[in-house]
Amino acid sequence: MGTVEAVERAITPVLSSLELELVDVEAHGGQVKVTIDRSPSLDLDSLTKATAAVSQALDAADAVPGGRYELEVSSPGLERRLRRPDHFQRFVGSAVAVVLKAGSASAEAGAPRRFEARLAGADGAGIVVEGPDQPEDGRRIPYGDIDRAHTVFDWRAALASSPSSPPRSERKASRPTAADRSRAAAAARSRAAAAARAASAPPSSRPTTAATADLGGSQNGPKTIDDDDVTETP
């Protein structure tokens, strides 16, 4: 039994007890990388607890030869690696990126070794992919011919489903024009002059004036100041 299989056997029951899913295991060069997940989401606290539990399970089972290794436990991220048949079966209908092994029968069939396609089917022996560069009835690829594969995150669909800002034309229309800025500046100067005249008047005849001018504006630009913006109290 190889290191990956030994690690999976040792930690699967532990992760199941924490209601976590074992997504993938990689082991090479003294490094063990364990990818886990939880629906609907995996939080930092669960990840921390899982790391401690996985480390204890590996040590107890002596699953890594030599007993010296660097452990990394992480979440899958936006794009998930597909390694086992159950991985592929879970994502049937999704877009996938596939790299075929050099010299494999699938790679020698004339199609590119690296490609993206729709995962149309998966069983115990291999997968079926569909796409513009694939045969009309799909292309079957044995698992043994696949070097690596992962899901492809659809950024366009994600952006389309997220709240968006107003169209560019609306954003331009909401910004003040040059004429608006000129009128606002002139009004501000007029009020400054009025305030200066009031300050130089005798105290008995000096009116109390409160003026509020929003020169920034909610759209990052000045607003036109009307006479109604000034309130005078005798």
State yes or no: pLDDT of 119 exceeds 50: yes
Q: pLDDT band for 233, please (50, 70, 90 cuts).
A: very low
- Averaged pLDDT of the chain: 77
Segment of 44-58, 100-114, 143-157 carrying the highest mean pLDDT: 44-58
Question: Quick check: 196 and 156 in contact, CB under 8 A?
Answer: no
- 85-156: CATH class: mainly beta
In the block, residue with structure tokens 């669960």:
46
| Band (185; pLDDT cuts 50, 70, 90) | low
Domains 3-74 and 85-156 fall in the same CATH topology: no
CA distance linking residue 197 with residue 171, whole number of Å: 40
| Domain ranges for the chain | 3-74, 85-156, 172-233
Gap between the Cα atoms of 9 and 100, Å rounded: 28
Residue 184 is predicted with a pLDDT of 58
Could you confirm whether domain 3-74 is CATH 3.30.300.70?
Answer: yes
Q: Give the whole-number percent of the chain exceeding pLDDT 70.
A: 66
* Contact yes or no for 184/215 (Cβ under 8 A): yes
Q: Read off the pLDDT of each residue in 165-193 and give the average, rounded to a whole number.
A: 54
Q: Does residue 144 surpass a pLDDT of 70?
A: yes
Residue 162 pLDDT class (50, 70, 90 cuts) = low
Amino acid in position 58: L
CA distances from 35 to 50, 98, 138, 143 (A): 10, 20, 31, 21
Above 50 in pLDDT, residue 23? yes
